[in-house]
């Protein structure tokens, strides 16, 4: 096989509202953290262990504006994209690295009636809900059928993205 693949698919809860940045040319970028959980039972102790992994999600232009409008802290969302690591210098001139998920497609999974406007999403839903993978798959399929209208679920291709200065 000669080709390569850089593809990420995540289902998780937003850790904060979308933070927007606007550029002179009219472009915009939105950033938000996404939490995914892994729950398993330690075979030696018999205790349940839960690990939360945080992902930095980056959305561009129209997709960013849609996410800003409809995503709130705690909402459940399906993200598809690719991993990108950026190198930059901090204020002291030290080279830093940041790994992000460049979002190319998303679907909101929190039903409209589950998050009242201004309520901050799924309060009390938290990140600690433990479910088997089968239950999560069933819940995902159920929520996807009840997901917000098509104008809130968008698919964006690589050609629609601009090269931004970072």
Predicted local confidence at residue 130, as pLDDT: 32
Report residue 120 as tokens.
Answer: 């901050």
Q: What is the pLDDT of residue 135?
A: 45
pLDDT score recorded for residue 124: 33
**pLDDT tens digit sequence for 19-63:** 999 999 999 999 999 999 999 999 999 999 999 999 999 999 999
| More confident site: 152 or 103 | 103
Q: CA-to-CA distance for 115 and 138, rounded, in angstroms?
A: 21
Q: What is the pLDDT of residues 86-126, one digit of tens each?
A: 998 999 999 999 999 999 999 999 987 765 444 443 333 33
Please say whether the dihedral angle defined by the alpha carbons of residues 121, 103, 164 and 90, taken in this order, is positive or negative. positive
| pLDDT for res 79 | 97
Mean pLDDT on 128-143: 41
Token pair 């917000």 is found at: 148
pLDDT in the model for residue 147: 47
Instruction: Give the residue extent of every domain in the chain.
Output: 8-160
For 74-87, the pLDDT digits (tens) are 999 999 999 999 99
Q: Which residue has the higher pLDDT, 100 or 136?
A: 100
Domain 8-160 superfamily per CATH: Nucleic acid-binding proteins (2.40.50.140)
The per-residue pLDDT for 89 is 93
């Amino acid at each position: 096989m000669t080709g390569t693949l850089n593809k990420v698919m995540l289902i998780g809860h937003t850790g904060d509202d979308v933070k927007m940045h606007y550029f002179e040319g009219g472009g915009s970028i939105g950033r938000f953290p996404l939490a995914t959980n892994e729950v398993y039972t330690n075979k030696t102790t018999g205790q349940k262990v839960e690990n939360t992994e945080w992902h930095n999600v980056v959305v561009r232009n129209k997709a960013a504006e849609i996410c800003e409008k409809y995503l709130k802290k705690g909402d459940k969302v399906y993200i598809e994209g690719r991993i990108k690591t950026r190198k930059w210098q901090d204020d002291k001139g030290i080279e830093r690295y940041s790994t992000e998920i460049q979002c190319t497609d998303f679907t909101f999974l929190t039903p409209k009636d589950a998050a009242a406007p201004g309520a901050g999403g799924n309060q009390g839903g938290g990140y600690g809900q433990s479910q088997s993978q089968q239950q999560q798959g069933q819940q995902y399929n159920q929520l996807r059928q009840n997901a917000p209208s098509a104008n809130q679920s968008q698919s964006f291709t690589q050609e629609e993205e601009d090269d931004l200065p970072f």
